[in-house]
Chains A and B, each alone.
Chain A
Amino acid sequence: EDKVVQSPLSLVVHEGDTVTLNCSYEVTNFRSLLWYKQEKKAPTFLFMLTSSGIEKKSGRLSSILDKKELFSILNITATQTGDSAVYLCAVLHLTGNQFYFGTGTSLTVIP
């Protein structure tokens, strides 16, 4: 059965800390892995990863994919209170554009 597992389920850090969020997957016919940030509204897109070992970076956020070990990490450096959100990982199937979502990691950044 295809599945996506995120860890930790929740995390509380202080401003300025660096955090690493994990996403492992067991999905046949993998195409891409996507990261989303969800505050109290709809998910917003962060990264799409298709190739192994190539880091994607946007400001203080970065992500990398390991297709051999079937996982991805999302790093946030110098965290700010505005980073508080649920971070969702989703794997895109090769055919049909179907997505498999993880349950998310809830990040709380304390001032």
Chain B
Amino acid sequence: DAGVIQSPRHEVTEMGQEVTLRCKPISGHDYLFWYRQTMMRGLELLIYFNNNVPIDDSGMPEDRFSAKMPNASFSTLKIQPSEPRDSAVYFCASSTTTGEQFFGPGTRLTVL
């Protein structure tokens, strides 16, 4: 298996633009997580899905952030409009019900 796949690996955009991050979880994993990591705040859970259904989105910073999982093999995290304080590394991770999470390589987002 190729592991968790994220795209793009790097994204540079200007304030106010829409940003879409993509994730393909490991096949057979029924949980998918979106995290954000910054030097100041460390690793933060934004939202997670179970069987494509959002379970807890309490970590989503505000209405500018939204996430979808239309099927078991694809999820998106969208920021609209983006702001400089959204600059961070965004990780996607997937797991089975046993709990061990496998992380994707991350998307480094820079909002100018």
Contacts and interface: CB of A to CB of B under 8 A. Distances in A.
Interface of A: 31-32, 34, 41-45, 48, 88, 92, 96-99, 101-104
Interface string B25-65: 00000010100000000111100101000011000000000
Contact of B106 (A32, A41, A104): A41
B48 A41 contact: no
Given A44-B103, A97-B50, 10 more contacts: A34-B101, A41-B105, A42-B103, A45-B101, A92-B99, A96-B50, A97-B99, A98-B55, A101-B43, A103-B42
A96 B56 contact: yes
Given A88-B43, A103-B42, A98 B103 contact: no
B80 to A, nearest CB: 25
A99 B99 CA distance: 9
Interface of B is mostly: strand
A31 B99 CA distance: 9
A85 to B, nearest CB: 14
Interface of B: 31, 33, 42-45, 48, 50, 55-56, 91, 95, 97, 99-106
Given A97-B50, A98-B56, A42 B100 contact: no
A44 B45 CA distance: 17
Contacts of B43: 43, 88, 101, 104
Given A42-B104, A42-B106, A101-B42, A48 B99 contact: yes
B100 A34 contact: yes
Contacts of A34: 99-101
5 contacts: A34-B100, A92-B99, A96-B50, A99-B33, A102-B42
Contacts of B101: 34, 45, 99
